[in-house]
Structure 1
Amino acid sequence: MNICEQCGYHLKMSSSDRIKVSIDPGTWGPMDEDMISLDPIEFQSGEELYKDRIDFYQTTIRLTRAIQTGTGQLNSIPITIRCVLPEEHACTKELFYVSILTSLTTGGVTASFGKRVIEQTLNKTISEGSQAAEYLFHKGLFNLIVPRNPLKGILSELV
């Protein structure tokens, strides 16, 4: 699971490896495999063409795009892994929706949406406590920091 046995540090993990440890064996069915990463604006990052970076990563990791989507089972519960549409669809159908953030930088990005930043961006005053854990919990948000080992079990309990 890419966890240091000495200190418990969680090392980077590929999306394919994450799927292997999260989804029941033999149930993963990829979706949207015909979608591929392109470079329509011929973006250049430093000395390197973006297209060259796309080609390198597509060859190295054998995926045509940066994200995997599909269906599978989580402890025999049917699930879908998608990056677009599910939140809107889940809200209209009143379905359970889980977002799993796996990058160390995500917490910093989330924290940057403080009261002052929101007020300056929206030109509105937001109420005190609107970002408190209790308020967000009552609105349906909960935040768990879960090590990889028990994640599959905890997710299946939530679902």
Structure 2
Amino acid sequence: MAWFKRESKGITTSTEEKKEAPDGVWNKCPNCKRPLHYSEQVENQYVCHYCGYHLRIGSKEYFSIIFDNNEFTELFTDLRSADPLQFEDTKKYSDRLKETINKTGLKDAIRAAHGTVDGQPLMIACMDFNFIGGSMGSVVGEKIARSIDYCIEHKVPFLMISKSGGARMMEAAFSLMQMAKTSAKLALLGQAQVPYVSLLTDPTTGGVTASYAMLGDINIAEPGALIGFAGPRVIKETIKKDLPKGFQTAEFLQEHGFLDFIVDRREMKEKLGSFLKMMAN
């Protein structure tokens, strides 16, 4: 039954001879569905070179893109979330924290570091969505507060990179208190006349949007970023009206005055350098 066999030399490949691509070498653009090689992603700063879609990245990648020569000093690395409420749903919160720390190599959903951008000093606090959805808990609020204190003391501008699903429900009121805490600290930063730039990335939602993410002296976002407070279904049921198309995108928010600029990630460092020089003068 030659119908079911390939007998031409060089065509038949046994299962043992087939080679799989290593994990992480290739992935697919969520927007245009075209394959992207990892080296191309790094070279293009994690932006799809076919359609311009901005892939989701974390603090490691943002630090490498923004800081000069990827040189920086990370601060407040000893902070870790506790479990003050002994929260337990399908799993103990304390166990989930341990698992997430081991899986991601992160201590919590935010990292803070200072370095230079185009020769200008800058403090960056950047959220990581891989750590429990980038949720805002006590450690997130405390790291932001300490970062602001550092900026006030050293007169260094502050950049906050937000990427979050909102407040961390496992810490309940402790999490919600971070909204007031960080907003109050930003008021002190303003009184000290130290610049604050807020960068909103995909997604920025919930209590993060309702607090520090929208309080920048300059509010910027990446193209196509999802930015909002509540989900579309909740809003629609509340106002009893159909929602405009794309109403929670960065482009819609800029059109309605909530954002100052939308900046392509490949131009981010240059733009930030210009902002910092302008504000320093």
Same fold? TM cut 0.5: yes
In structure 2, relative to structure 1, the CA distance for the partners of 1:26 and 1:154 (3 Å cut) is closer
What letter matches 2:53 in structure 1? Y
1:2 aligned to 36, 46, 60, which one?
A: 46
What letter matches 1:61 in structure 2? T
Give the distance between the partners of 1:78 and 1:57, measured in 2 at CA: 32
Give the distance between the partners of 1:51 and 1:9, measured in 2 at CA: 36
**Normalising to structure 1: TM-score of the pair?**
0.72
Gaps of 5+ in 1: 113-131, 137-141
Alignment partner, residue 22 of structure 1: 66
Q: What displacement does 1:19 show?
A: 1.0
Tell me, yes or no, if structure 1 residue 34 matches structure 2 residue 56: no
What letter matches 1:32 in structure 2? F
Q: What displacement does 1:93 show?
A: 1.3
What letter matches 2:119 in structure 1? S
**Normalising to structure 2: TM-score of the pair?**
0.43
Q: How many residues are paired up?
A: 133
Q: What displacement does 1:88 show?
A: 2.9
What letter matches 1:154 in structure 2? K
Tell me, yes or no, if structure 1 residue 72 matches structure 2 residue 115: yes
Give the conservation status (yes or no) of the 8 Å contact 2:68–2:117: yes
More helix by share: 2
Alignment partner, residue 195 of structure 2: 96
More strand by share: 2
Q: What displacement does 1:105 show?
A: 3.9
Residue 261 of structure 2 aligns to a residue whose secondary structure is: coil
Give the distance between the partners of 1:89 and 1:31, measured in 2 at CA: 20
1:151 aligned to 250, 261, 268, which one?
A: 268
Q: Provide Cα deviations, 1:81-125, integer angstroms capped at 9, x if missing partner.
A: 242263234212112111111133442229x9xxxxxxxxxxxxx
Tell me, yes or no, if structure 1 residue 109 matches structure 2 residue 229: yes
Alignment partner, residue 123 of structure 1: none
Give the distance between the partners of 1:50 and 1:10, measured in 2 at CA: 32
Alignment RMSD, CA only? Answer: 2.6
Give the distance between the partners of 2:77 and 2:71, measured in 1 at CA: 16
Q: What displacement does 1:9 show?
A: 1.0
Identity across matched positions, percent: 27
Give the distance between the partners of 1:104 and 1:63, measured in 2 at CA: 19
Which stretches of structure 1, 4 residues or more, deviate above 3 A after TM superposition?
A: none
Gaps of 5+ in 2: 1-44, 126-143, 149-185, 206-226, 233-255, 277-281
Give the distance between the partners of 1:57 and 1:8, measured in 2 at CA: 31
Q: What displacement does 1:26 show?
A: 5.0
Residue 100 of structure 1 aligns to a residue whose secondary structure is: strand
Give the conservation status (yes or no) of the 8 Å contact 2:46–2:57: yes
